Structure 1
Amino acid sequence: MMKKLIAALSIIGVALSGSVIAEINDPGGIGGLESLRGTAVLEVTRPADELKSVPKDQVLESDYVYQPPLIPHSIRGYEVSLNANKCLACHSWKYAQEMGATKISVTHYVNREDAVLADVSPRRYFCLQCHVTQASAKPLVENNFESVDSLR
């Protein structure tokens, strides 16, 4: 039963808010994928979209409680890997004041067992898992999200 369900989903796509967002498109046996960003043949690497413009040093408001703050500056060329984290060069507690940057939250120094660490917790080290730059980009889908009253 489960195999049939998985097969059916891979053929018809995944539905979100009543719209199919991904659908297998296989004209002539070539193979392809249709998404909100357009149609792409799976065997061909599609050129990257142009980079979106990022507002420079703009204060961005939160839309919901516990929202990871958006990054108000360009991060192009920043390395965030096992060996380096460019974000921490400005935002760690050690350097934030001298760099004029916002300190990272104390929650980033707590591990899964709620122990407070001397350095950033490994689960919070890869900043770009949660934090993204604010870009002036056209939304892929219509959105009528409204912020909670307490954040207005």
Structure 2
Amino acid sequence: MKMIRKASAVWRGTGRDGSGALSSGSGVLSDTPYSFKTRFEGDPGTNPEELIAAAHAGCFTMALAFGLQRAGFTPDELSTEAAVSLDQDGAGFKISRSALTLRGKVPGLDEAKFLELAHDAEQNCPVSKVLNAEITLDARLEP
């Protein structure tokens, strides 16, 4: 099976003073604003790193849900935050890290098996595979 998902960006002006909009094929993003200020100064809007963080958190969490299902477990809840780091790299920048923080509630599952399945999902979700960055995982099974 092969899937292709599309998104687009439009930019007007210089890198620092210009602005752009992002749209996705699904319509979830529709002319969503982004700019230097949304990326580096916290203005309202989004930025590529935030979108990568959302993609990584979503992909990893879904991969873990499938892994739990294959192992015979049904989670009450899996909650993941991805913190993507953008660092200076010479004259430019690079995404150097995606730190996943996972908290899960899975009835009947012990900590060791939870960590095994979480690490497998972290290594094998498609977004983890595409990122050329350090990926860390802090996972905890909660009562």
Both structures adopt the same fold (TM-score exceeding 0.5): no
Q: Which structure has greater strand proportion?
A: 2
TM-score, scaled to structure 2:
0.23
TM-score, scaled to structure 1:
0.22
Q: Which structure has greater helix proportion?
A: 2
Larger Rg: 1
